[in-house]
Amino acid sequence: MNNTINSCPLCLNESAKPKANESNDIWKVECPVCGTYRISDDATGELSRNGPYPDLSGVVRLWSETDRPVIITTQNLQDLKSSAPAPNDVPAKLRYLLRHVARKSQHPGDGVELGRETDYPVCFAANDYELTYLAGCATELHYVSDEGTTRGSICLTLTPTGWEEVQRLPTLESADAFVAMSFAKDSPLLKQAWEDAIKPALEEDAGYKAVRLDQEHYLGDIVFEIIARIKESRFVVADVTQHRNGVYFEGGYAMGMGLPVIWMCYEGDKKDMHFDTSHLNHIVWSDPAVGGQQNSAGLVEMVEGNERGLMVRNLGRADLARTELLACCG
């Protein structure tokens, strides 16, 4: 280790407990403000020049709250920063605040306590003063009721209007990735794309559950089930190969919900893409078998975090076939 840290590199809280792992130059940090995360020794050196970093504190706290502790490195540092809301994006910060209160409410009507000195990152606030301001905004908008503010904490309860607003927001904690694509059983190309590229890249490399409705059990109308599963997903992969109307509907519905959509299309079908989506960035893929086991870094560039919430930006390493299908441009 080249650096010595005695406090949280992100929020500078001296109650944090950094622990060094000499074998791989990674620090494990348990911070009452930012949560639990890991950070490379090189990244700690880069962050030591300034601070605190409320954008990184918010990102790391969100990942920690959703049981996906993040590893901060010099390679992903800027991506993590850019996934946070802009400092003056009050509507986005309010959405994160409402999501947090909803997640911590065991039942409607429960009061959720937020520590002024420890919980301000849950809504990407820079400090306890901004947390107080955002809580006041949420109260004025009738999203929450203030159940008691003290010097050390704020207690908020979601109102019916607040619960309604939460239902309109993307499900940031979801581990599901809804996949919309043709179910044609007579297409070995699509079958191979699903089995060898899309499904393993989402599940093995990214840690999500790839949801394809023809492989799920459900009761009732399929359209209602599609809508329900999209609402429950973190993002949607829409492969318009064969140009099924349902795929365009599902991708469009997800966009209307504010969910990021990764658009894909087979190279041979690109010329027939619908006008309404042809201007969007698509992953244009060819034969999924091409490339064998050659390794390449696969980046998934989701929609910018300011409007649609924090999204995964790296699907990890995958073979060339997976990379070709999932190297998405937001």
- Sorted by where each begins, the domain ranges of the chain are 17-82, 90-167, 176-326
| Whether residue 99 has pLDDT greater than 70 | yes
How does residue 203 score in pLDDT terms, banded at 50, 70 and 90? Answer: confident
Q: What is the dihedral of CA 199, 201, 203, 209, to 10 degrees?
A: -60
Reported as a single tens digit per residue, the pLDDT across 160-193 is: 999 988 877 666 667 788 999 998 777 888 888 8
- DSSP three-state, residue 150: coil
CA 173 to chain centre: 7
Q: Where are the beta strands (DSSP E) in the chain?
A: 17-21, 26-31, 35-40, 71-72, 112-115, 144-149, 153-158, 176-180, 209-211, 235-239, 261-266, 282-285, 295-299, 314-319
Buried b (16+ CB within 10 A) or exposed e, 261-279: bbbbbbeeeeeebeeebee
* Assigned CATH for 90-167: 1.10.10.10
Strand partners, 72: 39
Residue 63 burial class via C-beta count within 10 angstroms: exposed 0-12, middle 13-18, buried 19 and up: buried
Two domains, one topology: 90-167 and 176-326: no
Q: Which pTM does this prediction carry?
A: 0.63
**Strand pairing report for 314-319 and 295-299:** antiparallel
Place of tokens 């699903």: 194
* Domain 176-326: top CATH class: alpha beta
Band of residue 49 on the pLDDT scale cut at 50, 70, 90: confident
Confidence of residue 128 (pLDDT cuts 50, 70, 90): very high
